[in-house]
């Protein structure tokens, strides 16, 4: 693995997020007419350039928790602190939160444990756990089973089998990239590992049909018109993989993700994290990195998590 792989992850996801924040909810047709090509501000959330959303905030909360080991209650506490106290927000206040995440954090605040707080209904399969889970890959990169911890971390807020499976596939993909696999090779390896894991038992086996475009076809062969970019967790996983596999640089990957429209920040967060791993954080345009809110804090967090992962 690269010597600064945690920084690849954190900056990769955060820059993608910040690029997408100003145009969240914009339709693809609108972005076709005026595509995003640089870091801008204002827009959907009226935030300054370089502002990241709940996606990065919760990913940083997870990274912060992992600096002290794998502890679901500590992760949950930090997620709650983000919403209540502005912990790991770019400017001191949380300005966006998904319904499923909000419901789970409310339950956690009321004393429900992190193993029971996650929403389990079919309607709760938004991308709110997928968007924040990537730092886990840094911590479990050398473990034989990355699916189980991914499921556990997802289930703090999103406990439906479909959501935890998407997180498991994403972390497996990220771990293979961290070990130097090229995107195409990592994708094939992830598909094989996921099918081996999820075909064995229910409820996962019953959910596999929802991932057919990822696991049974070549997602990279789909056209842009066939890729959806809303808030549904399967769509986000598909879109992120498609952006990575059909691009040749970090910038191309994240701009392609943003300009798909709709849930622009999350699609670019999920795709950008993978692209950051593959291309390295040095490949990210310096102007984008330098514009990020709390840039220095992100570098310090990366150093701390790198040290913690190395001591496991």
Of 3, 7, 1, 17, residue with least CA distance to 288: 17
Distance of CA 67 to the CA centre of its chain: 18
Of 123, 112, 133, 95, residue with least CA distance to 10: 133
Task: Give the structural domain span for 39.
Answer: 5-310
Token pair belonging to 20: 């997408």
pLDDT of residue 70: 98
Q: Are the C-beta atoms of 136 and 153 separated by less than 8 Å?
A: yes
For the CA atoms of 169, 170, 172, 177, the dihedral, rounded to the nearest 10 degrees, stands at 140
Q: Are the C-beta atoms of 139 and 9 separated by less than 8 Å?
A: no
CA 107 vs CA 24, 96, 100, 110, 116: distances in Å = 27, 18, 11, 5, 9
For the CA atoms of 161, 164, 166, 169, the dihedral, rounded to the nearest 10 degrees, stands at -120
pLDDT of residue 261: 98
Token pair belonging to 70: 């794998």
pLDDT of residue 46: 87
pLDDT tens-digit profile, the chain (312 residues): 888 999 999 999 999 999 999 999 999 999 999 999 999 988 887 899 999 999 999 999 999 999 999 999 999 999 999 999 999 999 998 888 899 999 999 999 999 999 999 999 999 999 999 999 999 999 999 999 999 999 999 999 999 999 999 999 999 999 999 999 999 999 999 999 999 999 988 899 999 999 999 999 999 999 999 999 999 999 999 999 999 999 999 999 999 999 999 999 999 999 999 999 999 999 999 999 999 999 999 999 999 999 999 877
Of 140, 200, 113, residue with least CA distance to 165: 200
The Cβ of residue 104 has, within 10 Å, a number of other Cβ atoms equal to 28
The Cβ of residue 1 has, within 10 Å, a number of other Cβ atoms equal to 17
The Cβ of residue 8 has, within 10 Å, a number of other Cβ atoms equal to 28
pLDDT of residue 143: 95
Counting the structural domains of the chain, the total is: 1
The CATH number linked to 78 is: 1.10.4080.10
Token pair belonging to 211: 């991932």
**Alpha carbons 93 and 90: distance in angstroms, whole number:** 8
Cis ω for the linkage preceding 203 (within 30 of 0): yes
Q: What is the chain written as a DSSP string?
A: --TTHHHHHHHHHHHHHHHHGGGTT--HHHHHHS---S---BGGGTB-TT---HHHHHHHHHHHHHTT---HHHHHHHHHHHHHH-TT-SSSS-----HHHHHHHHHHHTT--TTT-SB-SGGG-BSTTGGG-THHHHHHTT-S--HHHHHHHHTTTB-SHHHHHHHHHHHHHHHHHHTT--HHHHHHHHHHHHHHHHTSSTTHHHHGGGGHHHHTS-GGGS-GGG---SSBHHHHHHHHHHHHHT-SSHHHHHHHHHTT-SSHHHHHHHHHHHHHHHH-GGGS-HHHHHHSTTHHHHHHHHHHHHHHHHT-
- Structure pTM? 0.97
Task: Point out which residues pair with 119 in neighbouring strands.
Answer: 158
């Amino acid at each position: 693995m690269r010597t600064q792989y945690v920084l690849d992850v954190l900056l990769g996801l955060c820059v993608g997020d910040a690029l997408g924040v100003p145009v969240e909810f914009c339709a693809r047709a609108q972005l076709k007419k005026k595509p995003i090509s640089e870091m801008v501000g204002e827009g959907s959330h009226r935030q300054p350039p370089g502002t990241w959303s709940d996606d990065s905030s919760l990913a940083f909360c997870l990274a912060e928790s992992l600096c002290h080991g794998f502890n679901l209650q500590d992760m949950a506490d930090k997620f709650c602190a983000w919403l209540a106290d502005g912990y790991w927000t770019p400017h001191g206040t949380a300005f966006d939160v998904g319904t499923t995440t909000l419901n789970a954090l409310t339950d956690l605040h009321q004393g429900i444990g992190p193993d029971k707080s996650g929403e389990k209904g079919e309607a709760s399969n938004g991308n709110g756990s997928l968007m924040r889970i990537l730092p886990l890959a840094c911590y479990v990169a050398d473990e034989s089973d990355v699916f189980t911890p991914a499921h556990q971390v997802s289930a703090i807020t999103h406990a439906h089998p479909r959501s935890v499976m998407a997180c498991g596939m994403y972390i497996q993909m990220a771990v293979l990239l961290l070990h130097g696999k090229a995107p195409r090779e990592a994708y094939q390896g992830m598909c094989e590992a996921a099918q081996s894991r999820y075909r064995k038992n229910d409820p996962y086996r019953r959910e596999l049909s929802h991932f057919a475009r990822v696991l049974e076809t070549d997602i990279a062969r789909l056209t842009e018109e066939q890729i959806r970019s809303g808030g549904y967790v399967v769509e986000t996983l598909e879109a992120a993989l498609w952006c990575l596999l059909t691009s040749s640089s970090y910038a191309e990957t994240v701009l392609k993700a943003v300009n798909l429209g709709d849930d622009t920040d999350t699609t670019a967060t999920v795709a950008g994290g993978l692209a950051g791993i593959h291309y390295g954080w040095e490949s990210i345009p310096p102007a984008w990195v330098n514009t990020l809110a709390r840039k220095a804090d992100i570098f310090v967090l990366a150093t701390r998590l790198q040290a913690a992962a190395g001591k496991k």
